[in-house]
Chains A and B, each alone.
Chain A
Amino acid sequence: MIRYLAFLAALLIAISSSAVPLSAQETSLANVQLSDPVQEAKAKELMESLRCLTCQSQSIADSDAEMAEDMRHLVRTRVQAGESSDEIRNWLVERYGDYVSYSPDVIGPNWPLYAIPGLLLLVGIALFLRRLRGRS
């Protein structure tokens, strides 16, 4: 019985989802690639470095969420209009804050993210040299 009902439900889903109005679907670039492969590659790279705000730890390039779809549409539209990746990222950061970008700037409030590994490198080299010098 449960199986039968489930089957019916699936059928219903299949029918109802194919009845979604065309206009809304066709204009969206959420799941449609740009015709220019260079632009599409640029958009793809950008999408992979933007956070889906309603998901948990997913970029907008790999999420089914509506928010991610809207943002993918936005990125593709702007790339198509010839905006640079930085412009689009900045535009989004202005609206949603640093949280939306997976790639924090070197210059800006998040400089420790880059300074600390640099420091680690120096400490590592110092440690290594000290061990060797201790020999003689």
Chain B
Amino acid sequence: MTAEIGLAALWMAAALCVMQFITGALALRADTVSEGADIGAITRPAAIVQGLLAMTAFVCLLWLFAITDLSVKLVASNSHSDKPLLYKITGAWGNHEGSMSLWIAVMALSGAAIGALEKRLPEKTIQAVLAAQGAVGAGFYAFIIGSSNPFERLPTPAAQGAGLNPLLQDFGLAFHPPTLYMGYVGLSVAFSFVVGALVTRQVTPDFARAMRPWVLGAWVFLTLGISAGSWWAYYELGWGGWWFWDPVENASLMPWLAATALLHSVTVLAARDALRTWTVMLGVVAFSMSMLGTFIVRSGVLTSVHSFAVDPERGAFILILLAIYIGGALALFAWRAGTISEGKRFALASREAALVFNNIMLCAILGVVLLGTLYPLMAEAMGDRVSVGAPYFNSVSAVFALPMFAIMAVGPILRWRQDSGGRISKAAILLAAIGIVTFVAGWLASDAGILPLLGLAFAAVLGVASVLPLYSRSLRRTPLATWGMVLAHLGIAVSLFGMASESGFSKETLAAVSAGESAAIGPYEVTLLGVEPLAGPNWTALEARLSVSDGSEPVVLRPQSRSYVQPVQTTTESALHNRWDGQLYVVLGQAAGDGRWQLRLWWKPFVTLIWYGSILIALGGAMAAVGHIMTGHRRRRLVVRLKERRAEEAALA
């Protein structure tokens, strides 16, 4: 019964979504047709009910997975009754159909939130925004109902489920895809705002303020989603890498880059009424990138370690959606961009100029990642197989990233509109000195490559620069949004430091040892105590016991090599040990004969800062969002009170 309720809810939500699009679009013509004025009023309630229905459908799906209803095809082919409950539930979105249901549920809920809460913009603009959301949503409903119905029943219930890819039976999966999807959906909301504002000619600071929380929210979720994915790959894949420039990773990085640019551009529009076309353009780009990301992930068009959900037919469907949405958005932009003026002007030495420069750099990095990701595909179409990987991405994106970091260091202490280089020269000299000293010190003290050393230098510069905006400010009166910026920029410095020291100073030891023998790695001495078999709920494993000591009290680490029964697959479970200045990463390899076992050992200085930094970034973004929402709320209340007082005065007079 649950499956049928879910499917019915999905169909009704789809119908309401179409209605939301039609009524919102018709309302646009209401100035010419007076009877049309009422029709737009349906848009908001339609969005709210659609949100509730889509959520109902998703909850039904979760329930089916929780109770392992094997008469449902999706459950039977992706779950197993022996799985722990947590992974049964997370398995609901670990597959194609489920993840699309999640996408739609989140998207419809965002529409409901706009319909219920957004009061700042003219009614017509909101209706246009919801209509745009309806248009995007309709495509996804068609996709899910037409080609990936999650509620399909089997003619006869399966006796047992097929299981879930063991790599995906992990807490990382519980967290990684939903956060990324929320980010993607947030960008689709931002896109809807852009379309609504373009159509009703409302590209104003008010529009920017209404859109900003969605952009910030999307950005926070993308940041968390990407770093959760990176952390997961780091400890799960067993080779100590945390970023592989894999097409699917790039697919999540590209929307993040676009969202980063968009969020800074929106801030300029909200504060200064400048960069109107830029903001609109970036809104379109950010959405396109999140659609492209979905396409790459869901179609499996690019070979990747992530192609769990490979299906070329569905890929073609998404590709068509992608072409319609991006093409439509660009056409709308080309058609209406002429009607928006660029807004207020500014000088070379101004915060706006710094932001524009960095936006261009971010877009260029986005271009490099996009090119590097799609180039192999284009080359293959021409009959040539090419690989583009880390050596290319690292060096080429650094060309744009390094100047960006330099400008990022001074941007926040520049004034809006017009400033003089002289005012900040002291700070700039201090920052440059810090950078040069760090670089030279690293150069003399180690044999690390140029890029890690530059990364280290810029991390030091940014670490200091990020807190400079607080200098000579009253800390208690500093707005929450400013704290958010400081924290996010500091997070970039922290992450960068982690990345640079990991790539510049990591140590590796591969050893084949028998019980009682030791191997040295970084500051540690690792001794193999023994290897024993072990059984878990749905796996068996070989577990090594390693005694690990850096001179102080030894610690026992237990890396495993796991074999899953359903489906059959082997995974490595690395064991990690933290010290204040880095992390020890140990993996149990194969038996090396003669009672010896292969051990892969890494010492990774400050590697965890990569993820701590990204938590800071996300926290900063969240603080900025809350700060802006609160300020906006306060300002609106003030405006209302002023109006009331004026009305009273008028009544008295």
Residues of A at the B interface (CB closer than 8 Å) are 2-3, 6-7, 9-11, 13-14, 17-18, 20-22, 25-26, 31-33, 44, 48-49, 51, 55-59, 61-64, 97-104, 109-110, 112-114, 116-117, 120-121, 124, 127-128, 131-132, 134-135
Q: Find B509's partner among A33, A114, A116 (CB 8 Å cutoff).
A: A33
Q: Say whether A14 contacts B533, CB under 8 Å.
A: yes
A128 to chain B, nearest CB (A): 6
Query: Which residue of A is nearest B392, CB measured?
Result: A103
Name the residue among A22, A61, A117 with the largest chain B CB count within 10 angstroms: A117
Q: Say whether B540 contacts A7, CB under 8 Å.
A: yes
Q: Categorize the interface residue count of chain B.
A: 35 or more
Instruction: Say yes or no for B63: interface residue by CB 8 A criterion.
Output: no
A sample of 7 more A-B contacts (CB under 8 A), given A49-B390, A57-B303, A135-B346, is A10-B534, A11-B533, A44-B508, A102-B388, A113-B371, A116-B371, A121-B364
Contacting residues, chain A, for B389 (C-beta < 8 A): 49, 51, 59, 102-103
Contacting residues, chain A, for B598 (C-beta < 8 A): 31
A97–B383 alpha-carbon span in the complex (Å): 12
A135–B238 alpha-carbon span in the complex (Å): 55
Q: Find B361's partner among A49, A100, A124 (CB 8 Å cutoff).
A: A124
B384 to chain A, nearest CB (A): 7
Contacting residues, chain B, for A18 (C-beta < 8 A): 591, 593, 595
A61–B602 alpha-carbon span in the complex (Å): 13
B364 to chain A, nearest CB (A): 5
Q: Say whether A120 contacts B392, CB under 8 Å.
A: no
B565 to chain A, nearest CB (A): 6
Query: Which residue of B is nearest A136, CB measured?
Result: B345
Q: Say whether B399 contacts A117, CB under 8 Å.
A: yes
Contacting residues, chain B, for A31 (C-beta < 8 A): 510, 512, 589-590, 592, 598, 600
B621 to chain A, nearest CB (A): 25
Query: Which residue of B is nearest A119, CB measured?
Result: B367
Contacting residues, chain B, for A110 (C-beta < 8 A): 375, 379, 386
Instruction: Say yes or no for B630: interface residue by CB 8 A criterion.
Output: no
Interface SS of B by simple majority? mixed
Contacting residues, chain A, for B388 (C-beta < 8 A): 102, 104, 113
Q: Say whether B542 contacts A10, CB under 8 Å.
A: yes
Known: A9-B540, A48-B390, A59-B389. A32 touches B510 (CB 8 A): yes
Q: Say whether A98 contacts B384, CB under 8 Å.
A: yes
Instruction: Say yes or no for B563: interface residue by CB 8 A criterion.
Output: yes
Contacting residues, chain A, for B357 (C-beta < 8 A): 128
Instruction: Say yes or no for B638: interface residue by CB 8 A criterion.
Output: no
Q: Say whether A98 contacts B540, CB under 8 Å.
A: no
Q: Say whether B533 contacts A102, CB under 8 Å.
A: no
Contacting residues, chain B, for A99 (C-beta < 8 A): 385-387
Instruction: Say yes or no for B419: interface residue by CB 8 A criterion.
Output: no
Q: Could you give 6 example pairs across A and B, Cβ below 8 Å?
A: A7-B535, A33-B508, A56-B304, A99-B385, A113-B371, A121-B364
A101–B392 alpha-carbon span in the complex (Å): 11
Instruction: Say yes or no for B332: interface residue by CB 8 A criterion.
Output: no
Name the residue among A13, A56, A57, A97 with the largest chain B CB count within 10 angstroms: A57
Q: Find A7's partner among B239, B247, B353, B533 (CB 8 Å cutoff).
A: B533
What 9 pairs between A and B have smallest CB-CB spacing?
A102-B389, A62-B239, A103-B391, A10-B540, A10-B533, A99-B385, A124-B360, A17-B591, A6-B540
Instruction: Say yes or no for B372: interface residue by CB 8 A criterion.
Output: yes
Known: A14-B542, A33-B508. A102 touches B391 (CB 8 A): yes
Near A by CB (< 8 A), chain B positions 491-540 give: 508-510, 512, 531, 533-535, 539-540
Contacting residues, chain A, for B396 (C-beta < 8 A): 113-114, 117
Q: Say whether A56 contacts B589, CB under 8 Å.
A: no
Q: Find B353's partner among A10, A13, A48, A132 (CB 8 Å cutoff).
A: A132
Instruction: Say yes or no for B305: interface residue by CB 8 A criterion.
Output: yes
B233 to chain A, nearest CB (A): 10
Instruction: Say yes or no for B356: interface residue by CB 8 A criterion.
Output: yes
B84 to chain A, nearest CB (A): 14
Name the residue among A33, A51, A55, A103 with the largest chain B CB count within 10 angstroms: A103
Instruction: Say yes or no for B327: interface residue by CB 8 A criterion.
Output: no
Q: Say whether B592 contacts A25, CB under 8 Å.
A: yes
Contacting residues, chain B, for A114 (C-beta < 8 A): 396
Count of chain A to chain B residue pairs whose CB atoms are closer than 8 Å in the complex:
154
Instruction: Say yes or no for B244: interface residue by CB 8 A criterion.
Output: yes
A32–B385 alpha-carbon span in the complex (Å): 31
A63–B572 alpha-carbon span in the complex (Å): 11
Q: Say whether A113 contacts B392, CB under 8 Å.
A: yes
Query: Which residue of B is nearest A49, CB measured?
Result: B391
Instruction: Say yes or no for B169: interface residue by CB 8 A criterion.
Output: no
Instruction: Say yes or no for B307: interface residue by CB 8 A criterion.
Output: yes
Instruction: Say yes or no for B340: interface residue by CB 8 A criterion.
Output: no
Q: Say whether A104 contacts B386, CB under 8 Å.
A: yes
Q: Find A120's partner among B346, B368, B387 (CB 8 Å cutoff).
A: B368
A56–B496 alpha-carbon span in the complex (Å): 28
Contacting residues, chain B, for A55 (C-beta < 8 A): 305
Q: Say whether B540 contacts A22, CB under 8 Å.
A: no
Known: A14-B542, A121-B399. A116 touches B533 (CB 8 A): no
Near A by CB (< 8 A), chain B positions 549-600 give: 563, 565, 572, 589-595, 598, 600
Contacting residues, chain A, for B535 (C-beta < 8 A): 3, 6-7, 10
Near A by CB (< 8 A), chain B positions 376-414 give: 379, 384-392, 396, 399-400
Q: Say whether B594 contacts A22, CB under 8 Å.
A: yes
A6–B536 alpha-carbon span in the complex (Å): 9
Query: Which residue of A is nearest B380, CB measured?
Result: A99
A20 to chain B, nearest CB (A): 5
Q: Say whether B247 contacts A57, CB under 8 Å.
A: yes
Q: Say whether B387 contacts A100, CB under 8 Å.
A: yes
Contacting residues, chain B, for A116 (C-beta < 8 A): 367, 371
Query: Which residue of B is nearest A118, CB measured?
Result: B399
Q: Say whether A21 contacts B384, CB under 8 Å.
A: no
A44–B531 alpha-carbon span in the complex (Å): 28
Contacting residues, chain A, for B82 (C-beta < 8 A): 2
Known: A117-B368, A135-B345. A59 touches B390 (CB 8 A): yes
A117–B11 alpha-carbon span in the complex (Å): 46
Contacting residues, chain B, for A56 (C-beta < 8 A): 303-305, 307
Instruction: Say yes or no for B347: interface residue by CB 8 A criterion.
Output: yes
A103–B534 alpha-carbon span in the complex (Å): 42
Known: A6-B540, A26-B593, A131-B356. A51 touches B387 (CB 8 A): yes
Q: Say whether A32 contacts B512, CB under 8 Å.
A: yes
Q: Say whether B593 contacts A21, CB under 8 Å.
A: yes
B579 to chain A, nearest CB (A): 23
Instruction: Say yes or no for B48: interface residue by CB 8 A criterion.
Output: no
Q: Say whether B364 contacts A20, CB under 8 Å.
A: no
